[in-house]
Each structure stands twice: as structure tokens, then as C-alpha cells.
Chain A
């Protein structure tokens, strides 16, 4: 009888040698005449344990990790295929690992468990139950459920998803569109990538529900070109969903049509901004559009368009399956449901942590992350990507919630948490924020296009101790101009990391002249 093994095909697992592990398994299986079936699943998101190899035993799945190709002969020589407890890489049942056990996985419930290329496996694990319920409802009732759940845009802005959908539903048009923003460009974030690679049908289902809700018959997923594996997984998922009647002219026998197409970005961070993304989808330069008109009223090709982040769409099937009240029950204040947080950078146990809103930064970093990877003291944490604030230790008790983060002059953004140890120089990080803005600015508005370059120059002068007081004043003024005068979040939020670095780590901007001169 064939023994079933699960080995992640997730890109992070690949970057850590998962394909080499698969090759070693095949070579050894041949030599030892073993009958092995290897399923390439998504990652469960415990990246210090990747590649994590799981073997199916009568007692359930047993995990080993981190496995390298050179471990395979030893593992197979031992009783690993029967769940050997004595092997040094033995992790036990994956769902019992505290890092996973202490999460509230609604969106990532299936990721790392199922075969992401197998629609039957998806259906067997509660897949397409949300869509099935949605089919029996009028569009307005679907929108009502999403509104009632309290779901807010997971891309960063936190705008209520149901309200956006309601606007599109209320527009009369010959064509409406559903657009998924899968241009996950923020450093420290990988949740979109993981779900697209590990559970692509969930995104297809979420977008299909959105289509039924607002009366849109066509959707586009705009994926960044840095994510080729996600593109390939979704390509397969769309073909399978069409073949099984979950996409196409008659979705699940409802008589309603919904088609999905994929588009690839081309290395422009700005295309994660929704109006710039729409321009790019139309085949133009990714230049930001002035709002209004809102994309909900005049979006892709001038038609009413729902544009949401991957994490917003993938939350929807759970809401339609288990009910708005079930989802809303998680969370705090005006932030309802769960947030897939991504623990990254200089952290021992980096990975995906899906928790109800309200957990504090410190709880995530200490209880899940286990401190820094280098073992040095933690000094700063950047939350929410390159446009997010740098937090010092004193602010780590801030709950992860849209309002609480804003009150601390930060933002939750897409949920990326990047940890830095005490070797970090915050003046250099502030400089990078401006440099990145200069590289990625679309160029439409002056504060962003010119301000960012001037910002790099002013910070360089401060770092070299040139006219420090005057230049600090100039930098503060420049930050205000960018904040107030930029057209979109790129120029408008680039001051966040800069100002927070100055506010919380002023010593890094006031290095002794002699030291600066010596460099």
C-alpha cells in the first residue's frame, strides 16, 4: 500500500530546499522499493520548520522538520514512515504544535492541509459551501451578510467591504467587474502568496460570490510578477473550476455567469494602489487616478468595479458558509473577524499567525515569534509594510486593531510585522523609506515624485551632521507636505516610517559629529 507524504510546494519551502527533498525521496524510494505518494501541499506557515514533511499514518498526519535532502536516507532508515517518535526532526501532529494550536484559523483553515491543485480535496474540506449558500440568495442579501460580518478591506485601508459592494450593486451598468488586488508588494507580507499557492480555490470562490452579489460577470486577478508560483496555481484552479461548473456561463447551475482571468504585474509597487492597478489592467502606465470617481462607480474600463485585496475575498466564503454572526464574533471594537498576521524579518519563529483582532504586538512577537533570530535585543518593529511606522519596545502593547494602531500613529496595513534587532540604524531605515518612494513613485503628483528624492538628500545631510537642526526642521516640513499634498498612500504614508523613526529613535538622527565624520 502506498504511503502518503505531504511536502509543501509553497515558494518559501522551495526557497529552503523542498524540491531537493522531493528529489531525494524519489531516489531513495526507488532504491528501497518503497511505494510513496508525494502531495505538494501549501505551507502551514511555520517557516523555521520548512521544509516540513508530513507522513500519513493510522494515527493521523505526523510532521518532521526542518527536513533537508540529506536527512532523507536517515529518515527512511528509521521508522519515519510509521511516525517514528524518536527521530530528532519529529514534530508530532502538526495541529498540536502550539504555534498552530493557539491560532484562530478561519481563512487559513485549509492551507497546508489540502492538495491545492485538487478541487475535490477542496470540496471535501468545506470548500464551495459559501458559494452554495450564496447561490440561493439575492445579491442584496449576500452584500448584507458581508456588511453584517464587519469585514473591512484587508489590503491596508480597512474600508468596510460590504459598503463597497453595496455601491457597486446599486449601479446600473451593462458590465460590472470584480478585481482582485494580488499585488502584495509590502515587505514583510506573504499571506496573499501563501493562500494563492496553498488554497487557490478559496480566492476563486470568494470572487465568484462577489460576482453574484453585485451582478458582475467577469473578474480579473492582478498578480505581481514576483509571484510566478501563485500565478501557476491559480491558473490551474481556474481551469479546474471551469471544468466542474464552478466558473463559466452557469455557475453551479444558477444560470448566472462568472468568468475569471489572470493578469500579471510587471514589477511596479505602485500598482498595489487600486486606481493604479486598474490603469495597469487596462494596459496603461500604472499612474494613480484622482478620486472621485470611486472605482465602485467608475472603475475598470469605466465600469462599476469591486476591487478588493486577496485577504478580503478569501474571508468571504467563511462568512457565507458559517454566517456573518460567526465571523463577527471574533475581534474587537470596529475590527471584526480574524487577521492573518505575518511575522517576518529578524525573528526566530517567523510565519503566518491568524488571530482575532486585538492581540497585542508583544504577544505576537514573544509568544509566537520567540524573540529575534540573532538572539540580540529587539529594537524596532515595522508594522504594515514600507509605509508603516517603526515602533519601539514601549509601544509593543498596542493591540493589533485598525483604530488602536492609528491612535499609536501607525497602521496595521496588510498585517506584516518586521522585527529588527539592536543593530538597526533608524536613520538608515528612514532614508530607505524615502529612497523606496523615489524609486516606486508613479510621478503623477509633485510631493511624492520630488519630495521623496529631496527626503533622501536631507536625511543624508542629517546623517553627516550637516546643519542638523535646520535640516531636521526641513525634513519635518517635507513630511507634512507629503502627508497633506500627495495624491495616494505612497507619497501620503512614506512620512510614517520617517516620522516614527525620528519620534521614537531620535538618537539615531543625532550621532556625534566625530563618528559621522569618521565614516
Chain B
């Protein structure tokens, strides 16, 4: 299953031989590039730039085309994330329920800007535009687990469990 890894630990460090075997497994799918990039992102926690020529060769595409796709989509990471990934919904329904305050609380509490990772690599905080939990806003996910009606206090309690 591609792109659905809940945990953000890369299950292994980058390995071009293993990456190539993933590419070869998926290359016969229709529109194979997206499933390939998802699979690599899941397996290693990011997609290393060194795989671009390998994919280009296997799929008979130019390197520019592969690079273009890799960099178009928000989901594909260019470097590993922190040990825990927090995705905060920034869309309108969550805004209507003090989502902006929650976002400010999270970035202040973890001392990190949106889209960045803490220096100790413990937390990455990212924006997401809608988790489909708009009737229980504000919403976020922490390591893939969804949380609705999150208050700053509730966030602090959830994150205390994740502290190293």
C-alpha cells in the first residue's frame, strides 16, 4: 500500500539498490510514477534526489520530468522528517473554531516554524488543507493519528506522550 505509512520513521536509511527494486516492482502500473514516488517516500521517509536518474531510466522519461513530478507534490519529502510529524489543518472550517490560535500555540510550544523540524529532530510541524474533519474542528494529525476539537491544553497532553 502506497503513501499510507502512519509512522514517519524511515524504516531504513536510503539505499539505491532497494529503491531500484521498488521502481522495478511498480513500473508496469498505468501512470507508474506517482505510485513509485509514494512507495519510496513510505519506505525511506523521503525521496532522495539520487533516485531521479534511476527512475528516469526505468520509465523512459527525462530526468527533468521526474524531478518536476517529485517537486510538484507536497507529500514527497526531499529529506527525512522529524521523529514525530504534526499536521495542523489551516483551512476555513478549522479557522472558524480558533484554528489560527491553535497553530500559533503549537509553533510557539515546540519553538518551530510551520513546515520546519525542531533542531533535535523530534518534531516536524506541517500545514494540511483539510483532513475532512470539518464538523469537529480544529483538527490535526500526529503521526497519522487523527484528533478533532483540539484545544491548546489537549495538544499539550497529546504531545507530552511523545517527548523523548
Residue B54 CB within 8 A of the other chain: no
Task: Check A347 against B135 for contact (C-beta < 8 Å).
Answer: yes
Residues of A within 8 Å of B134, CB to CB, are 187-190, 342, 344-345, 350, 416, 418
Chain B interface category by residue count = 35 or more
Task: Check A185 against B97 for contact (C-beta < 8 Å).
Answer: no
Task: Check B96 against A424 for contact (C-beta < 8 Å).
Answer: yes
Residue B105 CB within 8 A of the other chain: no
Q: Which of A268, A285, A419 is within 8 Å of B74, CB to CB?
A: A268
Q: Which of B6, B73, B130, B149 is within 8 Å of A187, CB to CB?
A: B130
Residues of B within 8 Å of A382, CB to CB, are 92
Q: Which of B1, B3, B35, B59 is within 8 Å of A235, CB to CB?
A: B1
Task: Check A345 against B34 for contact (C-beta < 8 Å).
Answer: no
Residues of A within 8 Å of B69, CB to CB, are 283-285
Task: Check A15 against B97 for contact (C-beta < 8 Å).
Answer: no
Asked whether A263 and B72 contact (CB < 8 A) given A345-B97, A440-B129, the answer is: no
Q: Which of A189, A267, A347, A421 is within 8 Å of B132, CB to CB?
A: A189
Residues of B within 8 Å of A351, CB to CB, are 135
Residue A258 CB within 8 A of the other chain: no
Task: Check B30 against A301 for contact (C-beta < 8 Å).
Answer: yes
Task: Check A283 against B33 for contact (C-beta < 8 Å).
Answer: yes
Chain A interface category by residue count = 35 or more
Residue A47 CB within 8 A of the other chain: yes
Fill in one digit per residue for A261-276: 1 if any B CB lies within 8 Å of its CB, else 0. Answer: 1011111110000000
Task: Check A264 against B3 for contact (C-beta < 8 Å).
Answer: yes
Residues of A within 8 Å of B74, CB to CB, are 266-268
Asked whether A345 and B96 contact (CB < 8 A) given A12-B135, A232-B4, A266-B38, the answer is: yes
- Give the number of A-B contacts (CB < 8 Å): 166
Residues of B within 8 Å of A187, CB to CB, are 89, 91-94, 129-130, 134
Q: CA separation between A184 and B93, bound complex, in Å? A: 14
Residue B53 CB within 8 A of the other chain: no
Q: CA separation between A359 and B130, bound complex, in Å? A: 26
Task: Check A263 against B34 for contact (C-beta < 8 Å).
Answer: yes
Fill in one digit per residue for B54-76: 1 if any A CB lies within 8 Å of its CB, else 0. Answer: 00000100000100110011111
Q: Which of B35, B73, B97, B135 is within 8 Å of A342, CB to CB?
A: B135
Task: Check A190 against B132 for contact (C-beta < 8 Å).
Answer: yes
Query: Which A222-242 residues have a C-beta within 8 angstroms of B?
Result: 225-228, 231-232, 235
A192: nearest residue on chain B (CB-CB)?
B132
Residue B122 CB within 8 A of the other chain: no
Q: Which of B65, B68, B132 is within 8 Å of A226, CB to CB?
A: B132
Task: Check A420 against B30 for contact (C-beta < 8 Å).
Answer: no
Residues of A within 8 Å of B139, CB to CB, are 15
Q: Which of A186, A280, A282, A424 is within 8 Å of B130, CB to CB?
A: A186
Residue A281 CB within 8 A of the other chain: yes
Q: Which of A15, A235, A281, A386 is within 8 Å of B91, CB to CB?
A: A386
- The smallest beta-carbon distance between B34 and chain A, in angstroms, is 5
Residues of B within 8 Å of A373, CB to CB, are 97
B127: nearest residue on chain A (CB-CB)?
A439
Task: Check B92 against A418 for contact (C-beta < 8 Å).
Answer: yes
Residue A306 CB within 8 A of the other chain: no
Query: Which A420-454 residues have a C-beta within 8 angstroms of B?
Result: 420-421, 424, 429, 432, 436, 439-440
Residue B124 CB within 8 A of the other chain: no
Task: Check A266 against B133 for contact (C-beta < 8 Å).
Answer: no
Residue A309 CB within 8 A of the other chain: no
Q: CA separation between A281 and B29, bound complex, in Å? A: 11
Residues of B within 8 Å of A344, CB to CB, are 93, 134-135, 137
A interface with B by C-beta (< 8 Å): 11-12, 14-16, 47-48, 50, 184-190, 192-193, 220, 225-228, 231-232, 235, 261, 263-269, 280-286, 301, 342-347, 350-351, 373, 382, 386, 416, 418-421, 424, 429, 432, 436, 439-440
Nearest 4 Cβ contacts at the A-B interface: A350-B135, A187-B91, A283-B33, A344-B134
5 contacts between A and B (CB under 8 A): A187-B89, A283-B59, A284-B33, A344-B134, A386-B91
